[in-house]
Amino acid sequence: MVLVTSASTNALHHPQIANSGSSVTFNCSVSGEARVRWLHDGVPLGGADRVLRVHGVARAHRGMYQCVAERDQDSAQAAAELRLGGL
């Protein structure tokens, strides 16, 4: 997941595949200073770090993860999908 400048994004749409019980990490790369927030299927998640870690992946963790970066009047977002593997 990459977020480049204040008003444009470079979203990676390749799904991230994880097996149940494993951990997965999403990185939100932002140029410059910006407030960062994360959403899972449109629902805000706690925390404002540029790295989101999901431990003990389960069915409830599947779906789209969005990183939203905001700076003054500008904002940009990037998204990636988390899918469960075959194990």
Instruction: Enumerate the domain spans of the chain.
Output: 16-84
At 74 the pLDDT is 85
Residue reference for tokens 């940009």: 76
pTM of the entire predicted model: 0.81
Question: pLDDT in tens for each of the 87 residues of the chain?
Answer: 544 434 344 445 568 889 999 999 988 888 778 889 999 999 999 888 888 999 999 999 999 999 998 888 888 888 999 999 865
CA gap 40, 72 in Å, rounded: 24
What is the residue-wise DSSP string for 34-66? -EEEEEETTEE-S---SEEEE-S--GGG-EEEE
CATH architecture assigned to 16-84:
Sandwich (2.60)
At 7 the pLDDT is 37
